[in-house]
Structure 1
Amino acid sequence: MKDKKGMKANLIFAAVLLAVAAVLFLFLRGRAAGAVAVLTYGDAGQRMEIPLDRDQRYDLDTGYYTIHLEVKGGKIAFVDSPCPDHVCEGYGWLGKDGDWAACLPAKATVTVLEGD
Structure 2
Amino acid sequence: MKFLGKFDWLIIVILILAAIILFIPHGQSAPIAEIYHDGRLVMTVDLRVDSHFSLEGMEIAVSGGRISVVDSDCPDRICVNQGAIDRPGIPIVCVPNRVVIKIPAGDTQFDAITQ
Shorter-chain TM range is 0.5 to 0.7
Greater RCO (Cα-Cα under 8 Å, separation 6 or more)? 1
Aligned 8 A contact 1:69 1:77 in 2: yes
Q: 1:81 aligns with which of 51, 66, 72?
A: 72
Give the structure-2-normalised TM-score.
Answer: 0.61
Q: 1:53 aligns with which of 48, 54, 71?
A: 48
Aligned 8 A contact 1:36 1:115 in 2: no
d(CA) in 2 for partners of 1:98, 1:47: 20
How many residues align? The count is 82
Give the structure-1-normalised TM-score.
Answer: 0.61
More helix by share: 1
d(CA) in 1 for partners of 2:87, 2:29: 11
In structure 2, runs of 5+ residues without a counterpart are: 1-24, 108-115
Does residue 40 (structure 1) correspond to residue 36 (structure 2)? The answer is: yes
Superposition CA RMSD, Å: 2.3
Which structure 1 residue ranges, 4+ long, deviate > 6 Å from structure 2?
none
Seq. identity, %: 27
